[in-house]
Amino acid sequence: MKFKFIWIGRTKSAYLSQGINDYVNRLKHYAQIEIKEIKPKNKSSEISTLKETQRLEKSLTTGEYHIALDEKGKLFSTEALAKFLAELPKRGHKTITFFIGGPFGLEPKFLRKVDFVLSLSPLTFTHEMARIILLEQLYRVLTIWQGEKYHK
């Protein structure tokens, strides 16, 4: 199985960068991991989000399962997320690609093009924090699949 992460901008916070690297290294024991950072365009939210969306659309690859993070997406418990993701390879999806927008999120047009829209929480996080939270949850999911004790 392969997980791809495509997000807008670099992680500027050193402690979040360190945490992201830690979870990426943990995930590599269970799956192939690829991260692609897309350079942000402008400071203006409307213009930048539109241009970033156009660049993200180029990353929609046939055969992959595309999940975008958005506050209005579906909420899962960790166990339910593990079950949901476990079904995807059975349906022929060997690569799951996650998209995280910049500070202003993702365009509704892009959200309609992906296979699934996921919310990490009803709480609001920075886009940089969303990265590490997603990675930690995926690590937790993979340890659940392996029957390891990380989860509880």
Enumerate the known binding-site residues for S-adenosyl-L-methionine: 69, 101, 120-125
| Feature table: binding site | 69, 101, 120-125
3-state SS, residue 86 = helix
